[in-house]
Structure 1
Amino acid sequence: MTVHPPLSDQLRSALVPLHAQLQAVPYCMALVERRAPLSVYITHLRVWAMVFAVVESGLDRADNPLLADIWFDEMRRLPLLFTDIDYFRDVPPRLPLTPDPVRVMTLALNLVSNLRKDAMTQPVSLLGVLYVLEGVALGAKNIGLALTSGFGLTPQTGMAYFAALKDDGALRFENFKRRLDAAPLSSRDRELVVQAAMDFIGECIDIFSLLIEPESEGTGQAIRYLAVSLNPEAGNHPICQDEQEITAVMQASVRCLVDYPYLIYRFGTRGRRFLDSDGAWLVHLTNLETKEMLSQVLCFGQSLTSRGIPQLLLEHHLRMLHRELRRVLPENQERYEKLIFCADHMRRHRRELLSEDVIDALTSDFCNQTGLYGNFAAKEAAELIIAGVLDEAQGLENATDSLMPWLADPMRRPAPWIKTVRITMDRANRAIVAKKARHEHIA
C-alpha cells in the first residue's frame, strides 16, 4: 500500500510559485493598496461568480461519495457573490451596469468551459480548484480592509463575499484541508487534483493580469456589455450594447417580476438575472429580419417551457421590453415593433386553441374552487397551469410536468389545491379538444 504525504501539503508546495505570481499581478496589488477601480472589482466579482457557479454545481451533481465527504452545502460562496453583484446591478442612485473588458471575459468564459468539461468527465479534479478558492480566505482580511477604506463597502453593500471570508474563511480552509487529507483518493486522483489546482491558478493569473485599468475601445482593451455582465451564469451570447437599452431591459425585468412573482419565488434572484440576460439578447435580435427573429424567439420559447417557464411569460417579457424601450428610445420604435410582432404571434396561436373568455372562466373557477377568489397568487397559478396546457397542445413536451414540482408540491401545497390544479389541467385539455372538434366539424 502506497503511503502518500498529506494532499494539502502537496498542493501547497506545487502552488507556492504560482501564488507568488498571482500576488504580483498589478490588479491584486492595486486591490490591496486601494488603487483598483471599482468597475474592475465588479468584473472580478463576476468572474468569480462564473467560476463558483460551475464548481459548486459540478460538485453537487458528482456521483462520488468521496466528494460528498469533502464538499458541504455550507461551503457555498455563490450566493454571497450574487449578493454583491446584485448590489451593483441597480440603476441610479447607485451605479448603472458597468461593461466588462472583452479579453478578460473571453479568458474567463474559456476557463469555465474547461471547468464544466472537467466536472462532467473527472469531477474529482474540482477539489483542486476548490482548494485554491478556499485558500483565498488567507488574504481576505487585507482585501476587506482595502474595500472598506477604498470604496466604503460593507458586508451589506458590495462586500458580502470577502467579509465572510475574513470572518470564518481561515478556519473553514483548515477544516477543508483536514477533510481533503483524510479522503482515500487514489494516486491518479491526487495527480488530477494537483494538476487542476495548478491549471486553475495559472488561468487566474492570465485573467487578473488583464484586469487592471482596462482601456476603452479604440485605445486598448475593448470594453463591452456581455451576457455575463448581466448574469454570470448566462454563458456567451450576444446582447444589445446601448446603455439606454440595457437600462430598459433591466426595468422590463422588474416589471415582469411584479406581474409574475412566480419567477422570483421559484427561481429566486437567479430568475431576475436570467430575465436581464435573456432580455438583452431579445433586444439584440431586433437587428434581424422579423421572420428570422421570430424563428429564434420561438425556439427559445420551446427551451423555456421545459424549465418551468411557459411561453405566456416569454410573451409578457417581450411586451414589457417593448414598453420600456419605446419609452426611452422612441426613435427606434420601428425596430422595437418586432418584439410586439413576436408576442402577438404567440398570443394568436394560443387563442386558436382557447379563447380569452374560456381562459378567464377557467381562471375564475380555479380561484373559486381553491377558496382564493380575488387572490393574486391563485390567479397567477391558474394562468400558469392553463399556459402549460396550451404549450403542450402546441407540441411542446414537458410544459406541464415542469410546472408541477412547484404548483403541485405536496410539501408546499395543501391537498385541495393540488386536486384543483389537476382538475383545471383536465378541464383546459378538454376545452382544447372540444374547440378542435368544433373546427373540424365546421370544416
Structure 2
Amino acid sequence: MPLVDRLRNESQAHHDCVESLPCFRALANRTLPSGSHRALHQALALLHEALTRALAATSHPALVALGAEAPSVHPLLEAGLVSSAPRDRLESPVVISAVALGERMRSAAHREPLSLLGYHYALRLALLPLPGTSPWSDFARWLEGRALEAAEEEGVLRAVGESFTLVRNLLDALHPPRERPPTWWLNRDAGGHPITTDLDELRAALRAAEASWEEFPYYAWRYGEHGRQFSWSDSAWLVTLGGQDEAQVWKHISWLGGLLASRGMPRLMLERHLRVLSRELVHAKPMHRRAYDVLSRVAERMAGERRRILGDDELRMFGEDFDARVGPEWSQQLRGAGELLAAAVADEYGGIAQAVPSLASWMREPSRFPAPWIHAVERTLLQARSLCRVRFPSGVPGRE
C-alpha cells in the first residue's frame, strides 16, 4: 500500500479518537478552563519549538524546505500563545510528555531524519488543520515522486502515531482534569517515584537516555518502545540524586544496577549512562556541576568494581573477538554485544547470580539469531568465565 494511503488510514483513526475527547470538544466550543488551556498551549509550543529546531538541524534535502516554513497559528490556539513555551520549571506535569517527544525529534534529526516528515504532518497539519485549508492533499502532493525505503516509511508512520498518542493523552488528562504523578508522563508503568521537573534537567536526562539507546542497539532490540520509556523515567529519577550524600547515592544506584542486571542489562550500561547523564547535566546547568559530579563519581566507583574482575581492555578484546566471529552484518546490527556478554560475566562474579542467564537466554534464542551468533555467545561466555576463574579461583571476588 502506498505511503500516502497508509498515512491517510492511520491518521484518520487517530483523528477520530482525538475529536471524540471532551477536551477537544471544549476547545472547539471555547469552554476549556483557562488553566487547561494554558497547559495545552505550553505543550504545543514546546512541540512546535522542538520540531522547528529538529528540522533546522538536518541537512536532508527533502526536509530543508519544511524547515524554512513558518506554519500559521490555528484560531483555536489564539495567536501569541504558541510562543509561550516554558523556559525554566514546568507549570503543569502534562507538559513533560511534550518535552520527551521533543527530545525524540531532536535525536531523530540525526538518526532517522525522514521520520521528521511524520512529526511535521501530525503536529503541523493533521491535528489542528486550519479552516479552509487542505493539509492532507497538500502533503500528499508533496510526497509524490519521493521514494522512501521501507524502514523510512515505518519511521514516518511511527512518528505520526507517537504525535497523535501524545496529544490524545494530553487532552484526555486536561479535561476533565485527572491527577497524574509527573513520572506518568514519561512512563505509565513507572509508578510514582520522583523525577526532576526542571526543564533543563529533564531535557538533559532525556538526551542521556537517547544517547544510551544509540550506544547500545540491544536496548531497542530487546525492550522496544516500552523499555525506552523506562529509560526516560529512570534517567529523570537519577537526576534527583544529584547533590545528595555520595554514600546514599551509591546505595540507590547499586540497587538499580543490580535490578537491571538481573533483568538482562549489565551494569556496564548503567555505568556508561551515568557518565553521559553527568556530562549532559553539567552542559545544561554548569553552575550546578558540584551536585551533578556525584553521578560521575558513582559511575567511576561502579567501573572500579568491574575492573577488579574484567578491565576495559579485556572488555574491548571480547567485543572485537565477538564481532569477528559473527561477521560485519550482525556486528553492526547489534553493536557491543560481546562487551555486554563479558560485562554480564563480571556482574555474575560480582555477586549478581542472574546477570548471565537473563542476558544469555535472549542472545541464544535460535528463532532470533543464526548459529554462528549463538556459537559466538557461548564462546565469549566460556572465555570470560575462564579468565575470571583463573583470576579468582575461589569464586566470587571478596566472598570466601
TM-score, normalization by structure 1: 0.55
Structure 1 equivalent of residue 147 of structure 2? none
Tell me which residue corresponds to 2:196: 240
CA distance in 1, matches of 2:258, 2:349: 13
Say whether residues 1:30 and 2:19 are aligned partners. Answer: no
Q: State the shift of 1:314 in Å.
A: 0.5
1:305 aligned onto 2:261: yes
Of the three residues 397, 420, 424, the one matched with 2:376 is 420
Distance 1:157 1:38 in 2: 24
298 and 96 in structure 1: CA distance in 2 versus 1, 3 angstrom threshold: farther
Per the TM alignment, residue 230 of structure 1 is displaced from its structure 2 partner at its CA by: 2.1
Distance 1:379 1:206 in 2: 39
Between the aligned partners of 1:42 and 1:254, the Cα distance in structure 2 is 23
Quick one: structure 1 residues 30 and 279, their matched pair in 2 at CA, closer, same or farther if it must change by over 3 Å?
same
Contact 2:219/2:227 (<8 A) preserved: yes
Structure 2, gaps ≥5 residues long:
1-19, 55-84, 97-124, 137-156
Aligned match of 1:383: 339
Question: Given that residues 319 and 343 in structure 1 are in contact (C-alpha distance below 8 angstroms), is that contact kept between their aligned partners in structure 2?
Answer: yes
Contact 1:34/1:147, CA 8 A, preserved across alignment: no
Q: How does 1:331-410 map to 2 (within 5 A)?
A: 331-372=287-328, 375-377=331-333, 379-410=335-366
CA distance in 1 between counterparts of 2:130 and 2:38 reads 12
Cα 1:225–1:41, aligned 2, differ >3 Å: closer, same or farther?
A: farther
Counterpart amino acid of 1:428?
A
Q: Deviations over 1:193-218 (max 9, x none)?
A: xxxxxxxxxxx99984336xxxxxxx
Give the aligned partner of residue 288 of structure 1: 244
| 1:209 counterpart = 2:176 | yes
Q: CA deviation at 1:364?
A: 2.1
Q: Which residue of 2 aligns with 1:93?
A: 53
Query: Aligned pair in 2 of structure 1 residues 265, 228: CA closer, same or farther (>3 Å)?
Result: same
* DSSP-derived class of the 2:287 partner: helix
Between 387-396 and 91-100, the greater mean CA deviation after superposition? 91-100
Deviation at 1:324, TM superposition (A): 0.7
Which structure 1 residue ranges, 5 or more long, are not aligned?
Answer: 1-22, 44-83, 106-143, 165-203, 212-220
Q: Deviations over 1:344-365 (max 9, x none)?
A: 1110000101222322222222
Q: Tell me the number of residue pairs that the alignment of Structure 1 and Structure 2 aligns.
A: 288
- Give 1:322's aligned residue: 278
8 Å CA contact 1:225–1:239 kept in 2: the answer is no
Letter in structure 2 aligned against 1:325: L
Cα distance in 2 between the residues matched to 1:409 and 1:374: 15
Q: In 1, distance between residues paired with 2:376 and 2:294?
A: 38
CA distance 1:276–1:35, change in 2 (3 Å) = farther
Distance 1:419 1:289, change over 3 A: same
**CA distance 1:262–1:428, change in 2 (3 Å):** same
The alpha-carbon deviation at position 41 of structure 1 amounts to 9.1
Counterpart of 1:269 in 2: which secondary structure? helix
**CA–CA distance in structure 2, aligned partners of residues 208 and 334 of structure 1:** 41
C-alpha distance in 2 between matches for 1:162 and 1:229: 9
1:432 matched to 2:399: no
8 Å contact 1:34–1:149 — kept in the other structure? no
For residues 240 and 24 of structure 1, do their structure 2 counterparts lie closer, same or farther at Cα, with a shift above 3 Å needed? closer
Q: Residue 32 of structure 1: CA displacement?
A: 4.5
Cα distance, 1:31 vs. partner? 3.6
**Which amino acid in 2 is paired with 1:253?**
A
User: Is the contact made by 1:33 and 1:146 (CA closer than 8 Å) also made in structure 2?
Assistant: no
Report SS of the residue matched to 1:285.
coil
CA contact (8 A) 1:88 1:158 kept: no
What TM-score do you get using the length of structure 2 for normalisation?
0.60
Report the Cα offset of residue 28 of structure 1: 6.0
C-alpha distance in structure 1 between counterparts of 2:352 and 2:329, whole Å: 30
Measure the CA separation in 1 of the matches of 2:382 and 2:234.
32
Match of 1:125 in 2: none
Tell me how far apart the structure 2 counterparts of residues 329 and 160 of structure 1 sit (CA, whole Å): 32
Q: Distance in 1 between matches of 2:216 and 2:167?
A: 34
Matches within 5 A, 1:58-97: 93=53
